[in-house]
Amino acid sequence: MNSLPQILHTISYMGLPLLFAMVLHEYAHGWVAHRCGDSTAKLQGRLTINPLAHIDPFGTVILPLICLLLPGGFFLGWAKPVPIDPRAMRQPRRDMALVAAAGPAMNLGLAIGSALIFALLLSIDPAIGNYWSKSEDTSPQDTWHQMFLLPIAVMSVYSVLINVLLMLFNLLPLPPLDGGRILTSLLPRTAAMALMRVEPYGMFILMGLIILDPQIHLIHTITSTLTHSLSNTILSTAVGLGAGNTP
């Protein structure tokens, strides 16, 4: 189990990026649905970036804290799903695919934007890169850089990791995850109906995959290997554009 100082330190840097990632993910679903003719989210006051409208007490607060307390580095969380009514859409099958894809697309955009912010900060003060150095004599100096730029830089890097993780996790082809709903919209109707019948059991299947992950390594591949590979690619590209060196 992680120590209390470690947990508080992680929460202080991960809190805002995680909240924005989950809230804007749901907002993207609602915005695209509204553009496709479904005003359900707007009528219920969910077409907003106000976090209070999207917070799920368990998925947004309790579960992420539990994940931080437990060893192993696995992380899971979600915001309250935005209400969607396919019957109000102009082309329900096509539009549902667009709505489902909007959440992961938002997370990808946030990851890229966060990487660009980090690159900008690094170009302003290259010493920020020393925070990630393993050398003992490269710790940041006690200046306005450490008090202002460094926390934003650390949150930017966490934002890249969090958003890439949420994007990849939600693209799993399992309803009710976004990947499952995209697949349902693209499959022929017979196959789509069969996949839709899985949705009531989707979260149970997902929990089973998490429990069995030490043997099958599916979730670990997404949460570790793929997440870090794509995150490092995004960060390295942005840093290369902004400062010419990597964190």
Catalytic residue numbers read 26
DSSP-assigned letters across all residues of the chain: ---HHHHHHHHHHHHHHHHHHHHHHHHHHHHHHHHTT--HHHHTT-SS--GGGT--IIIIIIHHHHHHHSTT------PPPPP--GGGSSSHHHHHHHHHHHHHHHHHHHHHHHHHHHHHHHHH-GGGGGGG---TT-PPPSSHIIIIIHHHHHHHHHHHHHHHHHHHHHTSSSTTSHHHHHHHHHS-HHHHHHHHTTGGGHHHHHHHHHHTHHHH-HHHIIIIIIHHHHHHHHHHHHHHHHTSS--
| 199 in Cβ contact with 136 (< 8 Å) | no
